[in-house]
Amino acid sequence: MSSTDDIRWVTQVALLGDKNAFDKLTCKYQSPIRRFFLNLTAGDGPLSDDLAQETFIKAYLNITAFKGISGFSTWLYRIAYNVYYDSVRAQKKYADINEWEIDSQHQTQNEFSAEKMDIYRALKLLRKEEQTAVLLFYMEDKTHNEIAKIMNCPLGTVKTYILKGKERLTVYLTNAGYGN
Amino acid sequence: MPDMETNDKLLKDFFSENKKEIADNGFSRRVIQNLPETADRSWIVWVFAAIGMAISIYLGLTSGLLEHAFSLLFKSVPYYYLLAGITCFPLLGTAGYYLSQNKQIAL
């Protein structure tokens, strides 16, 4: 399934409100979007599914705003990024609750928890922006330019986020015995 | 201290080891079920089809192409073939529609 398919399905959704075409887009992108949220929320499956669902619904409602300048995937990640940061801002009022403790409780409830504890611990060392940039670059294979569009920030800032994130993660992973 | 290239490889290997495809498990269905209702815009297709047909008929009539095509058709195709085609088409169409609807209900 190429980006030509994406454009065709987006056109069908935008012009005809075709839900079958949107279903195809959802099926194609559900895995990367849910994985992105799963990593950002330290493995909280139900929360990442809720955020992913909100992302797809927002994409459906605003599909006419997609101009096709960047790929559909980049545009979808941009929505996902906004949804995630809206959720983080909404949770700020509960900041006195130990976030890590809650995340750890949720981790035991999903199938990825045991094998993915290391990645969640590693990502916890980074600032939110660094987490996002590093995940998009190393896990979702996005380019620096695409990440700059997704995060709506200058290219130089993205490179700094990735560089700083890389430094911290390298120290953590080396100490944890990776790469030996 | 390892060099930048080694660090990059370390991270790439680490993230690719942790990169897993997530099974749909009804997620897409739930998204579609929760989509808000929007106005049905399928009429656009019919409007454009009607405009297209009107233009073709107009061009066909003014250029004499349609007249020529019909005269050829009636001359070369036997009358009973045409009659059988006209009679069978609605029957086959109805049968096809019935089968497709039954299939959709079964799904």
Between CA A30 and CA A33 the distance in angstroms is 5
Whether residue B48 is found in the same domain as residue B62? yes
Q: Inform me whether the C-beta atom of residue B72 falls under 8 Å from chain A C-beta atoms.
A: no
In a domain? residue B82: yes
Does residue B49 lie in a domain region? yes
For the ranges A84-88, B6-10, B52-56, B57-61, the lowest mean pLDDT is seen at B6-10
Residue B21 domain-assigned?
no
Find out whether B15 and A120 touch, Cβ atoms under 8 Å: no
Q: Which residues of B touch A38 (CB under 8 A)?
A: 22
CATH classification of A125-180 is 2.40.30.170, yes or no?
Answer: no
**Rounded to a whole number, what is the distance in angstroms from the first to the last CA of chain A?**
38
Q: What's the structural domain count of chain B?
A: 2
Q: Check CB contact under 8 Å for A30 and B28.
A: yes
| A1-113 and A125-180 have identical folds | no
Residue with tokens 């992913």: A52
B71 and B87 part of one domain: no
Q: Do B15 and A179 touch (CB under 8 A)?
A: no
Residues B48, B72 within the same domain: yes
Same domain assignment for residues B56 and B66: yes
- Rounded to two decimals, the ipTM of the complex is 0.76
Residue B96 lies in a domain: yes
The answer to whether A17 contacts B32, with C-beta atoms less than 8 Å apart, is no
pLDDT of residue B107: 45
Q: Where are the domains of chain A?
A: 1-113, 125-180
Q: For position A99, what pLDDT does the model report? A: 55
> What pLDDT does A123 receive?
87
Instruction: Specify if B7 maps to a domain.
Output: no
Query: Quick one: pLDDT at residue A114?
Result: 45
Q: Do B41 and A112 touch (CB under 8 A)?
A: no
- Is any Cβ of chain A less than 8 angstroms from the Cβ of B107? no
Q: CB-based contacts of B45: which residues, under 8 Å, 6+ apart?
A: A16
**Closest to A165 in 3D by CA, of A113, A107, A110, A126:** A126
Q: Is residue B31 part of a domain?
A: no
Look at residues B103, B32, B97 and name the one whose alpha carbon lies nearest to residue A17: B32
The answer to whether residue B18 is domain-embedded is no
Residue of A nearest to B19 (CA): A139
Q: How many residues does chain A have?
A: 180
Give pLDDT, residue A136.
94
B11 located within any domain: no
- Regarding whether B87 and B68 lie in a shared domain, the answer is no
Please check whether residue B41 touches A, CB under 8 A: yes
Identify the domain containing residue B50 by its residue range: 42-76
* B36 in reach of chain A (CB within 8 A): yes
User: pLDDT per position in chain A (180 positions), as tens?
Assistant: 568 888 999 998 888 888 889 999 999 999 999 999 999 998 888 999 999 999 999 999 999 888 888 889 999 999 999 999 999 888 776 655 555 555 555 554 454 454 466 788 888 889 989 999 999 999 999 999 999 999 999 999 999 999 999 989 888 888 877 766
B19 vs A: CB within 8 A: yes
Dist CA B44 CA A95 (whole Å):
50
pLDDT of residue B86: 78
Assigned token pair, B83? 């009659």
Is B57 found in the same domain as B47? yes
**Greatest CA separation found in chain B?**
90
The domain made up of A1-113 has a fold known as Rna Polymerase Sigma Factor; Chain: A (1.10.1740)
Whether pLDDT at B77 is above 60:
yes
pLDDT of residue B95: 85
Q: Which residue has the higher pLDDT, A169 or B3?
A: A169
Share of chain B above pLDDT 90, in %: 10
Going by pLDDT thresholds of 50, 70 and 90, the confidence category of residue B92 is confident
With a cut of 80, say whether residue B59 has pLDDT above it: yes
